């Protein structure tokens, strides 16, 4: 694995009570179920749709504290609407020897998430999923762990997340933590989770936020989780604050370091909030970065 600058965090990190609350989704809206297949070396992967999250361009979510006209100009330069910012809510499925792995689970069917239908488009039943890897415990990543009725959505799967993130989720309480408790297996940040998938500590968004690097032969792909949210604003201005980050300073430092590394290494990524299917490359552009979508 290429050298990576890591920013230390622990399960005992002190988090201000006001930041413990889950982020507010301004306008979650339905999406069409879709599974887009691609290869990671010998592995077959699918980008899976769940929902859309449309946030206002008012400085409350992206570019917190920045003048709205400055944010609007970045959007206009990218030929995007300037009154709102559309973020995907997507997941990644990887079929590999001995494992059918789902990375994150979307907002869930209780609020209209279509991930279960996208999974069927990939010809996978929920009971066939062997491992669910959670980048972090915000509702747009763990909501789909439970069914509409409140049971386990993936009854045969081991649910894996970093030890600091599981502690963070438990500290917030809630029904999901109770339902999944017996299925959760934690790992130390940076550990190999299953053969071919290694966790990558990317703290700041939440205390135990993890990316996942999937390797097959010489081919790699990194699921960046919520290291960056908007393929336009987050890349053009990685130093701008994102309201969803639990620790704004640490989130900014992680984002700046990781985007610089990705642009230099030209490693392909999956970004669950970028325009579907969210697979491509980060490239240097001026004093920031830009997004180059590319399936193999």
* Residue 172 CB-half CA count within 13 A: 24
Q: What is the DSSP string of 126-168?
A: GGG--EEE-S--SHHHHGGGB-TTSSBSSTTPEEEEEHHHHHH
- Checking if the pLDDT of 7 tops 60, the result is no
Instruction: Please give the pLDDT value at position 25.
Output: 55
* Closest to 221 in 3D by CA, of 33, 87, 47, 104: 47
pLDDT band at 257 (very low <50, low <70, confident <90, very high): very high
Q: Give pLDDT tens digits for 275-292.
A: 999 999 999 999 999 999
* More confident call, 65 vs 23: 65
- C-alpha span between 43 and 41 (Å, rounded): 6
Instruction: Please give the pLDDT value at position 10.
Output: 29
Instruction: Please give the pLDDT value at position 26.
Output: 59
- Checking if the pLDDT of 34 tops 60, the result is yes
**What average pLDDT score do residues 141-152 get?**
97
Mean pLDDT across the chain: 91
Count CB neighbours of 97 within 10 A: 9
Which CATH number describes the domain made up of 25-293?
Answer: 3.60.15.10
- Give 181-185 contacts, CB < 8 A, sequence gap 24+: 183/152, 183/157, 183/158, 183/159, 184/159, 184/160, 185/158, 185/159, 185/160
Instruction: Please give the pLDDT value at position 11.
Output: 31
Instruction: Please give the pLDDT value at position 28.
Output: 81
Share of the chain above pLDDT 90, in %: 89
Counted residue by residue, the chain has a size of: 296
- C-alpha span between 252 and 53 (Å, rounded): 21
On the question of a cis peptide bond just before residue 80, with omega within 30 degrees of 0, the verdict is no
Return the CA Rg of the chain.
18
**What average pLDDT score do residues 231-260 get?**
97
Is 202:227 a contact under the CB 8 Å cutoff?
A: yes
Q: What is the DSSP string of 123-136?
A: T--GGG--EEE-S-
Q: In the structure encoding, which two tokens stand for residue 133, read together?
A: 């890897």
pLDDT band at 27 (very low <50, low <70, confident <90, very high): low
- C-alpha span between 273 and 116 (Å, rounded): 18
- C-alpha span between 90 and 104 (Å, rounded): 8
User: What distances in angstroms separate CA 293 from CA 79, 130, 277, 281, 283, one per listed residue?
Assistant: 16, 29, 8, 6, 11
* More confident call, 186 vs 28: 186
- Checking if the pLDDT of 8 tops 50, the result is no
Instruction: Please give the pLDDT value at position 126.
Output: 98
Q: Specify the pairing of strand 197-201 against strand 158-162.
A: unpaired
């Amino acid at each position: 694995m290429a050298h990576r600058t890591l920013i230390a965090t622990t399960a005992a990190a002190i988090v201000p009570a006001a930041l413990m609350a889950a982020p507010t989704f301004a306008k979650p809206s339905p999406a069409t179920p879709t599974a887009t297949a691609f290869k990671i070396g010998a592995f077959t992967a699918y980008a899976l749709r769940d929902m859309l999250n449309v946030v206002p361009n008012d400085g409350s979510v992206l570019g917190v504290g920045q003048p709205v006209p400055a944010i609007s100009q970045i959007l206009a330069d990218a030929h995007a609407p300037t009154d709102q910012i559309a973020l995907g809510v997507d997941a990644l499925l990887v079929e590999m020897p001995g494992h059918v792995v789902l990375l994150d689970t979307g907002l869930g069917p209780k609020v209209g998430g279509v991930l279960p239908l996208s999974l069927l488009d990939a010809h996978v039943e929920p009971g066939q999923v062997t491992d669910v890897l959670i980048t972090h415990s915000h509702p747009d990543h763990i909501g789909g762990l439970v069914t509409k009725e409140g049971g386990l959505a993936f009854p045969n799967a081991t649910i894996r997340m970093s030890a600091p993130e599981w502690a963070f989720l438990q500290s917030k309480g809630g029904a999901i933590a109770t339902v999944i408790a017996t299925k959760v297996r934690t790992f130390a940040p940076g550990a190999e989770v299953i053969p071919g998938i290694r966790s990558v500590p990317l703290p700041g968004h939440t205390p135990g936020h993890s990316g996942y690097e999937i390797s097959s032969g010489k081919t790699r792909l990194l699921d960046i989780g919520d290291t960056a949210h908007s393929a336009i604003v987050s890349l053009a201005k990685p130093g701008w604050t994102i309201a969803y980050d639990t620790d704004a300073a640490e989130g900014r430092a992680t984002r700046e370091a990781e985007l610089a590394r990705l642009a230099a290494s030209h490693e392909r990524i999956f970004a669950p909030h970028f325009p579907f299917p969210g697979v491509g490359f980060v490239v240097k552009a001026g004093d920031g970065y830009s997004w180059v979508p590319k399936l193999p």
